[in-house]
Amino acid sequence: MNNNMNQGKVKFFNTEKGFGFIKDTASNQEYFVHVSNLIDEIRENDEVTFELKEGKKGLNAVNVQLA
């Protein structure tokens, strides 16, 4: 397992608009996620792993996949 992966839970995801938010399990921070940064399809309350990448408005969740 990659040590850079964060674990979290999908707090909100709008499939029509293609974005949502993931809450980091360890830090309780919430991160924006866009459909273009998904590896797996996600739904609200899914447990996921993800990496963080600097975006236009702060850190975004990328390489998001089901845990």
CATH H-level superfamily of 6-66: Nucleic acid-binding proteins (2.40.50.140)
- Residue 16 DSSP label: T
pLDDT at residue 4, as a whole number = 76
- E strands, the chain, in order: 6-14, 19-24, 30-34, 47-55, 58-66
Q: Distance between CA 3 and CA 56 in Å, rounded?
A: 25
pLDDT at residue 7, as a whole number = 98
Q: Give every residue of the chain whose pLDDT is below 70, as ranges.
A: 1-3
Cα–Cα distance list, 2 to 50, 58, 62, 63 (Å): 10, 22, 14, 12
pLDDT at residue 2, as a whole number = 47
Give me the residue spans of the domains in the chain.
Answer: 6-66
pLDDT at residue 3, as a whole number = 58
